[in-house]
Amino acid sequence: MLHPSTSSAAGAAGVAAPPPTGTVRLTINGQQHTLQIAPWTTLLDALREYVHLTGTKKGCDHGQCGACTVLVNGKRINSCLSLAVMHEDHDITTIEGLGSQSTLHPLQQAFIDHDAFQCGYCTPGQICSAQGLINEGRAHTEEEIKEHMSGNLCRCGAYAGILNAVKEVVDAKSNEVKR
């Protein structure tokens, strides 16, 4: 069940069988997971297909859209352009680890309040990216937030709402610091 399909490579005459799957230990949203996966499994595929955390989305699968954004040790990355095996000692946070069904993360609430999505496909990546932006603490003005959120595309074009939502949470954070 945990073995990815290898039939195409193994089945071809004269082609050596691919190397066996290996054990990869990942810490995701504070929980340890031990996976039997092939080395070419991306972090994105590990999250979605093996840990069944499908909140993280596969958009372009080439690092161009940001839908797969997760936090690794608090820093945002594109999980589609990283191998799971490269993250054994890291703390991975996905959208499932930010809020819960009963208690929304402030960014989740702000996205609802500001109508910051239509189809919602890019939203988990937008929110993880925004949390990364807040952790970095470098973007405060609208211009800065736009620039620092440019790695996340929204094909519905909800950018105005996304900007307002992120700005609200950024502002609230900086007020907290001031108090």
Partner 1 sequence: MNPFTYSSVTAVEDAVRDNASHEGAAYIGGGTNLLDLMKENVARPTHLVGLNKLPLTAIEPTPEGGLRLGALATNADTAWNEEVKRRYPLLNQAILAGASPQLRNMATNGGNLMQRTRCYYFYDTATPCNKREPGSGCSAIGGFNRIHAILGTSEQCIATHPSDMCVALAALAATVRVSGPSGERTIPFEDFHRLPGNTPERDNNLEPGELITGLDLPAKGFEKNFSYLKLRDRNSYAFALVSVAAALELDGNTITDARLALGGVAHKPWRDQEAENLLKGQPATPETFARAAAKVVEGAQGYGSNNFKIELARRAIVRALKQAAEGSQHASDVFLNSNP
Residues that bind partner 1 in the complex, under the rule CB under 8 A: 6, 9, 18-19, 22, 38-40, 42, 61-63, 66, 69, 75-78, 81-83, 85-86, 129, 132-133, 136-141, 143-144, 146-148, 150-152
Residue 101, phi-psi category: left (phi > 0), alpha (psi -120 to 50), beta (remainder): alpha
Phi, psi of 19 (to 5 degrees): -65, 155
Cα 62 → chain centroid: 14
- Pick the closer one to partner 1 by CB: 1 or 177: 177
Closest distance of CB 103 from partner 1, Å: 26
Strand duo 69-72 + 31-37: pairing: unpaired
- Pick the closer one to partner 1 by CB: 97 or 151: 151
- Pick the closer one to partner 1 by CB: 83 or 104: 83
CA dist 175 and 95 (Å) reads 25
Closest distance of CB 102 from partner 1, Å: 29
